[in-house]
Structure formats: structure tokens, C-alpha cells
């Protein structure tokens, strides 16, 4: 257990996949663009790429077994996850491709301190594969949204958004790639702004 406490904003990163947004955040921290530190990276997928990326960079990276449910963690498992984040003195929980709904144990442990990035201009196209939803709806543009997490599906207060065009010959893959480019700019920018205002707990 790491009991150290610095004056920097301490991030707990949760992810389920390859970790491209985590990479963008870690790169921005390494470049001095975000005055924060990664306390721990946790994943509900044992062999997730995000864990390998974190370990390559020397960060604590652990598998957090989710239990038997597919779209959320078992309450006991989520309570263990919350305790682990608390042990690492995490100030802000950052969801980076985390594919489970956040429920009471984490929401109560980190009230107003859990953020997510979603691949649409919320409230448009919540839920899975938002880029496909936008394309199928014939939208002229889409984008990404950084927002606070609440108990709903992509319903928390919006922090910032970035818009990207949908072009005539786009495919779901090309739209998704363009959104990810915007995500990799927007998420570090938001974290930089939060870190600038951060005051460590006394």
C-alpha cells in the first residue's frame, strides 16, 4: 500500500481496454502539461492492454475482479475497488474506456470526483458504440464529452466537449478514429484545468 501524499492531484485510472486515453493522459503528465500523478491503474479485465501500458511506465497496475455481472461490478467487488483507490489516496477517479456502470460503492466513496469521456456530444447518443449511432442517425457532426459520473447512463454534468465533423464517405471506423483524436486532446486539457484548481486535503 502506498501511503505517500504529495501536493499533486492523484489520479486513479479505471479502464477495460487498450488504454489509448490513458496513454494520452500519461504522455501529457510526462510532458509537464498536466500537474498530476497517476496513483494506480485498475482494470476489470485481467489481460487488458491498459494494465500492460501502465506497468511499462512504472505505475501500479492491478486487476480488479468484477464478479458475475456483465455490465457492472458486484457491490462487494466495487466496494473493494473503492477501498483500493482510497488506500492510494486518490483524489480523482478517471474512467478511460471503463465498460461498467458505476454504482453506489464508488459514487459514495468519491462523490463528485469521478469523471468519464464519452464518444459523442452528450446528451446525444449515450451508451455503446456512440459513433455508430451518430452515423446511422445521419448526424452532420459528433464528438466527445468529458463529464462527471452519476448513477445514470452517461447522464452526469458535462465538463467539456469537442466537436468533430462526419464526412460524406465516413465509416464507423473512420468516425471513431477522428473522435479518438479529439478525446486524446480533450481529456488531458480537462485534467490540466482540474489539476490547476486542485488543493490537497489538509
Question: Using one digit for the tens of pLDDT, what is the confidence trace for 111-154?
Answer: 999 999 999 999 999 999 999 999 999 999 999 999 999 988 89
Provide the terminal-to-terminal Cα distance of the chain, rounded to the nearest Å. Answer: 20
Interior angle at CA 99, CA 95 and CA 102, nearest 5: 65
φ, ψ of residue 65 to 5 degrees: the values are -55, 130
Inside any domain, residue 145: yes
Residues known to be catalytic: 118
Q: Three cell numbers at 100? A: 461498467
Inside any domain, residue 186: yes
Which positions ≥6 away from 76 have C-beta within 8 Å? Answer: 67
Mean pLDDT estimate for the chain: 93
Query: In this predicted model, what pLDDT tens digit does every residue of 175-192 receive, in sequence order?
Result: 999 999 999 999 999 999
Inside any domain, residue 1: no
The CATH number for 141's domain is: 3.40.50.170
Inside any domain, residue 108: yes
Q: What is the pTM of this model?
A: 0.94
Inside any domain, residue 94: yes
Domain total in the chain: 1
d(CA 180, CA 134): 15
Inside any domain, residue 3: no
Q: Which domain holds residue 116?
A: 9-197
Helix (H), strand (E) at residue 144: strand 141-148
Inside any domain, residue 191: yes
Amino acid at each position: 500500500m502506498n501511503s505517500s501524499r504529495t501536493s499533486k492531484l492523484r489520479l486513479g485510472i479505471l479502464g477495460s481496454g487498450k488504454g489509448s486515453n490513458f496513454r494520452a493522459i500519461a504522455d501529457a503528465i510526462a510532458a509537464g502539461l498536466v500537474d498530476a500523478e497517476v496513483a494506480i491503474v485498475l482494470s476489470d479485465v485481467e489481460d487488458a492492454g491498459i494494465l500492460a501500458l501502465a506497468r511499462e511506465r512504472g505505475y501500479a497496475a492491478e486487476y480488479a475482479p468484477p464478479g458475475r455481472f456483465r455490465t457492472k461490478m458486484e457491490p462487494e467487488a466495487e466496494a473493494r475497488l473503492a477501498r483500493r483507490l482510497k488506500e492510494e489516496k486518490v483524489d480523482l477517479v478517471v474512467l478511460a474506456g471503463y465498460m461498467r456502470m458505476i454504482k453506489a460503492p464508488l459514487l459514495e466513496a468519491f462523490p463528485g470526483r469521478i469523471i468519464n469521456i464519452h464518444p459523442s456530444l452528450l446528451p446525444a447518443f449515450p451508451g455503446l458504440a456512440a459513433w455508430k449511432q451518430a452515423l446511422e442517425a445521419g448526424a452532420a457532426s459528433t464528438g466527445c464529452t468529458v463529464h462527471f459520473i452519476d448513477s445514470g447512463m452517461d447522464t452526469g454534468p458535462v465538463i467539456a466537449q469537442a466537436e468533430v465533423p462526419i464526412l460524406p464517405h465516413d465509416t464507423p471506423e473512420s468516425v471513431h478514429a477522428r473522435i479518438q483524436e479529439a478525446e486524446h486532446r480533450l481529456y488531458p486539457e480537462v485534467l490540466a484545468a482540474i489539476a490547476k484548481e486542485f488543493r490537497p486535503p489538509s
